[in-house]
Structure 1
Amino acid sequence: MSINTVAIITGASRGLGREIARQLLAPENCVITMARSHDAELVAEAAKLNAKLQPIQSDLANPAAAQRAAMQIANALPEGAQRYLLINNAGMVDPVSLADGLDQPAAITAAFSLNVTSVMLLTAAFLKAVKPRQADSRIVNISSGAGRNATTGWGVYCATKAALDHYTNVLAAENHGVRVVSLAPGVVDTGMQQAIRSASPSDFPNVDRFAQMHDKGQLASPQDTAARILRYIARDDFGSKVLDDIRQYD
């Protein structure tokens, strides 16, 4: 059977990334997942559907590990697919603190490594692998409204997502023959949201707003958001707007 889509998804062991991977599982697709932990349930579901799934365990907050994962992509991307996707979904919100408390270099470095450095490394490998194939190739960098609006207590998170947005603008300007979008997914009911709600108000003054959104059922589900993102990726005009927000689409 010929391959329709080869999709690489980072942060795929839980939340939005896992749901995107799950919805892509099909006999005609090849799904490559990257996460720190092994997801036995996703492997079992892929086997049940006779779907091709290649899990890669990697801590992308470690630049050396991210580089090894990037090399695996470059060396093992299946040939002959109609479409190649790279969905850079992995991300972290920590450390959460007002600016005068951002004094832990290891935590700051880990956030930049995961949210920005790993994206650059994986993208470089993806571009090198897909360029000779002349296939329809698309990159989605999962960004955040935090990269476009200052949020008190999220100095690191806002900075990394702003960097991700601007890096995506550079990718588009360089015109590698690959369509790229930095996409804000809205507020999704994931483990990251649980972590946000557990933050101290002294570090994150907006914590009550996020708690109220959860209590009032205003968080989008990972299932619905993943489906909307996959419909968005399949659009003929994908890439025409480099910085975008899934909430603008049905």
Structure 2
Amino acid sequence: MARLVNLEILTFFLGIGHSIVTQILKKEPTAKVVGVSRSEEPLKQLASEYPERFVYVAGDLLNDDTSKEVIKKTIDTFGHIHGVVLNAGVLEPVASIADANIDDWKKLYEINVLSPLSLASKAIPYLRFTSGRLVFVSSGASVSNYRGWGAYGSSKAAINHLAASIAAEEPGLFSISIAPGVVDTDMQVQIREKHKPNMSEENHKKFTTLKETGQLLPAHVPAAVLANLALYGQGDDINGKYLRYNALELDSYK
């Protein structure tokens, strides 16, 4: 895979976002990254480690002004945008469709769908100049059904469709949606400790067993694939697709 120069990448800083950023910065010495998160401390730490190559915006992407600030800061600081990693996801509400609280669903959709959509739409005009890449972080729940996960699963299915739609609408860009597998994050803690009453016993046991048997993925495993796709992703064979991080089609990015 060819090395790139003057590579600017935006990334959400949630979940496995920290690992994605660090791997991008370590893999590609010319890469420059703009991180986005509501929590400033981990952003400040990375900025101190990579003062010339990492800048950040501490803000909530539910606020459209934050997306505008991110784009402006990227262009003002680095001049271009070559890639965007869109890594946003909350699980709650976990409840049956019959018990759906519409306000809770709206909040989840604002976080999981509308905030990535806002940033992607604002980045696309700049990505056209660089034949850039958009990498969406999806979930296996987007194509599987778990009791109580209707809000989360459907929001990630929407992310898959966004990635595919961008590929169809923007022939000069590369867009892909990736399920990172079952990663050992705070979301897994919530599943095991909080959401059992609204999940099937079988599904809850599946996740607790993965933890007990040491089968949860460390974040750096899928993050490596996501980082490589942000840096080097290309090809009509995977453009617009939804794939698991360990799909055969992604072997060259592992």
1:145 lines up with 2:140 in the alignment: yes
**Share of identical aligned residues, percent?**
26
Equivalent residue in structure 2 for 1:160, among 152, 155, 161: 155
Report the TM-score when normalising by structure 1: 0.86
Give the residue type in structure 2 aligned to 1:29.
A
Shift in CA distance, 240/77, structure 1 to aligned 2, threshold 3 Å: farther
Equivalent residue for 2:70? Answer: 73
Match of 2:180 in 1: 185
Question: CA 1:87/1:218 → structure 2, altered by over 3 Å: closer, same or farther?
Answer: same
Select the residue among 189, 193, 201 that pairs with 2:196: 201
2:98 aligned partner: 100
Alignment of 1:211-226 (within 5 A): 211-226=208-223
Secondary structure, counterpart of 2:93 in structure 1: coil
Q: How does 1:93-132 map to 2 (within 5 A)?
A: 93-103=91-101, 105-131=102-128
Matches within 5 A, 1:12-91: 12=13, 14-25=14-25, 28-40=30-42, 42-60=43-61, 62=62, 65=63, 67-78=64-75, 79=78, 84-91=82-89
Deviates more, 1:67-76 or 1:122-131: 67-76
Q: How far off is 1:44 after superposition? A: 3.1
SS in 2 for 1:74: helix
SS of equivalent to 2:172: coil
Cα pair distance change 1:177/1:185, threshold 3 Å: same
Please report how far the alpha carbon of residue 139 of structure 1 lies from its aligned counterpart in structure 2 after TM superposition: 0.2
The TM-score with structure 2 as length reference comes to: 0.85
Query: Which letter maps to 1:247?
Result: N
Question: 1:3 and 1:144 mapped to 2: Cα distance?
Answer: 31
Q: Is the 8 A contact 2:192 2:208 kept in 1?
A: yes
In the TM superposition, residue 100 of structure 1 has moved relative to its aligned partner by 2.1
Let me know the Cα RMSD of the aligned residues.
2.2
- Alignment coverage as a number of residue pairs: 238
Report the CA distance between 1:123 and its aligned residue: 0.8
Contact 1:181 1:239 in 2 (8 A): no
Q: Bigger shift: 148-157 or 67-76?
A: 67-76
Q: Which runs of 5+ in 2 are unaligned?
A: none
Greater share of residues in helix: 2
Q: State the SS of the aligned residue for 1:202.
A: helix
Residue identity opposite 1:56 in structure 2: V
Residue type of the alignment partner of 1:217: G
Residue-by-residue CA offset, 1:74-110 (whole Å, 9 max, x unaligned): 32333555x711011011111111222222x322111
